[in-house]
Structure 1
Amino acid sequence: MIPVKADTATREQYVQNVLAVFHRATPDQRARGEAWYRTAHQLAEMISGGDVVAGAGVIAVLSANKSWAANRSLAERAFVTGEPSGHTGDNLRKAAKIMAGVDPAEVLPMDVKTGNFYRCILDPTDPEAVCIDRHAHDIAVGETYGNRDRGLSSKRRYALIAHAYREAAMRLGTLPSTVQSVTWLVQVESVAGTGTRSREHARSAA
């Protein structure tokens, strides 16, 4: 795991790593990345019958260790059946609370990945929220960790990586969530060797 503290040079290197991947994006990847959270917002509204807060919260809480395809399927099924399933007991209990009307901000860890994912889906124009999953981490640090622990449950380590995306976004004149979603597509599609896999399995959780 990277240290939770970093000197100025290391922090700048993380920013440069993010920028380098962003600039590798094709026009198609750029367009899809820019639209990603707007599309997720529409999905949250649709599956919840118009309650986008609940929809975004359930999607976020059921995202841990799931591909986007699986995440979406679990969230859709939860609202169809009225009962979340297919995840850990703790996350299912949180999803049930959100579906019962509890504010997701009272249920989710708002300072790390799940809470930020919720914020990005709820408001795709949020100027601060940024979802740091395993791919976002690896892009910033310039190393693929595979199955190694990235330590993103640490608020300080999460904030360090999130800073790199916010700084990159400021230099690019766009949103941190857009930088994250565009670079995520570049990262995943370069590994997969094709855009098809990412469209089917998009966004794995941390």
Structure 2
Amino acid sequence: MIPVKSTDKQRASYTRAIVDMWNSATPDQVRRGRMWYPTAHELAAEISAGDTTKGAGVLAALSANKSWSENCRLARKAFIEGRASGHVSDAISKANRIMAGTDPAEVLPMHIKTGAFYVCIAEPENPEPVVIDRHAHDIAVREIYGQRDRGLGAIGRYNTLADCYRRAARRIGELPSVVQAVTWVAHLERR
């Protein structure tokens, strides 16, 4: 697990690892990564009858520990049936509150992955949010942790990695969310 307060040298190492993963991406992976959040944005609008904020919130609420395809299936099903199911009670409760009209920013933990995921889907051009999930972590540390705890619930650790993705994005000349998405695609497909 990385330190909550990383040194400048550690942060530089994490940033280099992110840039290196970006540079290892094929042109097709870069294309698909660039389109990841805009495509998710379109899906959020589609499943929620045009209420992209609500669709993005439900997708984010139901995202924890689910593959993207399962996440999409659960969110689509929730809107069709009028209630969420198929997840832990906390995620179901959050999704149902969002579908009932509560602002996702009032329901989701906006300082960590789920909140950032919501904003990236709702506002793909927003330059601030960075989704730090297990894959983003593993890219930055150049190690696949498997089932080991990454400690991403600690705000200092999460923010350290988010800042490294922002630094990498400045070097590359892209939005941080695009860097995260492209490196995510490249990372998952390198296995």
1:97-136 paired onto structure 2 within 5 Å: 97-136=97-136
Q: Which runs of structure 1 show a deviation greater than 2 angstroms over 4 or more consecutive aligned residues? A: none
What residue in structure 1 maps to residue 60 of structure 2?
60
What residue in structure 2 maps to residue 92 of structure 1?
92
Segments of structure 1 that go 5 or more residues without pairing to the other structure are: 192-206
Q: Distance in 2 between matches of 1:89 and 1:8?
A: 40
For residues 90-118 of structure 1, the C-alpha deviation after alignment (integer angstroms, 9 at most, x for no partner) is 11011000000000000000010000000
Q: Distance in 2 between matches of 1:9 and 1:154?
A: 20
What residue in structure 2 maps to residue 174 of structure 1?
174
What residue in structure 1 maps to residue 22 of structure 2?
22
Q: Distance in 2 between matches of 1:59 and 1:28?
A: 25
Cα RMSD (Å) of the superposition?
A: 0.5
SS at match of 1:60: helix
The one-letter code sitting in structure 2 at the alignment partner of 1:106 is E
Q: Structure 1 residue 31 and structure 2 residue 28: aligned? A: no
Deviation of 1:70 after TM superposition, in Å, equals 0.1
Deviation of 1:136 after TM superposition, in Å, equals 0.3
Q: Distance in 1 between matches of 2:52 and 2:103?
A: 12
Q: Distance in 2 between matches of 1:7 and 1:158?
A: 14
For residues 54-82 of structure 1, the C-alpha deviation after alignment (integer angstroms, 9 at most, x for no partner) is 00000001000000000000000000000
What residue in structure 2 maps to residue 204 of structure 1?
none
Normalising by structure 2, report the TM-score.
0.99
Q: Distance in 1 between matches of 2:11 and 2:57?
A: 31
What residue in structure 2 maps to residue 74 of structure 1?
74
Segments of structure 2 that go 5 or more residues without pairing to the other structure are: none
Q: Distance in 1 between matches of 2:107 and 2:143?
A: 32
Q: Distance in 1 between matches of 2:2 and 2:173?
A: 28
Q: Distance in 2 between matches of 1:158 and 1:36?
A: 22
What residue in structure 1 maps to residue 142 of structure 2?
142
Question: Number of residue pairs matched?
Answer: 191
Q: Distance in 1 between matches of 2:154 and 2:92?
A: 23
1:154-193 paired onto structure 2 within 5 Å: 154-191=154-191
For residues 12-58 of structure 1, the C-alpha deviation after alignment (integer angstroms, 9 at most, x for no partner) is 00000000000001110000000000000000000000000100000
For residues 177-197 of structure 1, the C-alpha deviation after alignment (integer angstroms, 9 at most, x for no partner) is 000000001110011xxxxxx
Normalising by structure 1, report the TM-score.
0.92
Q: Distance in 2 between matches of 1:3 and 1:169?
A: 22
**Percentage identity across aligned positions?**
57
